[in-house]
Amino acid sequence: DQQVKQNSPSLSVQEGRISILNCDYTNSMFDYFLWYKKYPAEGPTFLISISSIKDKNEDGRFTVFLNKSAKHLSLHIVPSQPGDSAVYFCAASIIGNAGKSTFGDGTTLTVKP
Partner 1 sequence: GAVVSQHPSRVICKSGTSVKIECRSLDFQATTMFWYRQFPKQSLMLMATSNEGSKATYEQGVEKDKFLINHASLTLSTLTVTSAHPEDSSFYICSAPLGQGVYEQYFGPGTRLTVT
Which residues contact partner 1 (rule: CB under 8 A)? 4, 9, 32, 34, 36, 41-46, 49, 89, 93, 98-106
Between residues 5 and 15, which has the closer beta carbon with respect to partner 1?
Answer: 5
Q: Which amino acid is at 85?
A: S
Between residues 27 and 45, which has the closer beta carbon with respect to partner 1?
Answer: 45
Burial pattern 8-47, b for ≥16 Cβ within 10 A else e, equals eeebebeeeeebbbbbbbeeeebbbbbbbbbeeeeebeeb
CB of 43 to partner 1, least distance (A): 3
CB of 113 to partner 1, least distance (A): 25
Between residues 22 and 79, which has the closer beta carbon with respect to partner 1?
Answer: 22
CB of 57 to partner 1, least distance (A): 12
Q: Closest by alpha carbon to 93, among 4, 20, 5?
A: 4
Q: Give the distance from CA 110 to its chain's centroid.
A: 15
Q: Closest by alpha carbon to 47, among 8, 7, 83, 95?
A: 83
Between residues 21 and 106, which has the closer beta carbon with respect to partner 1?
Answer: 106
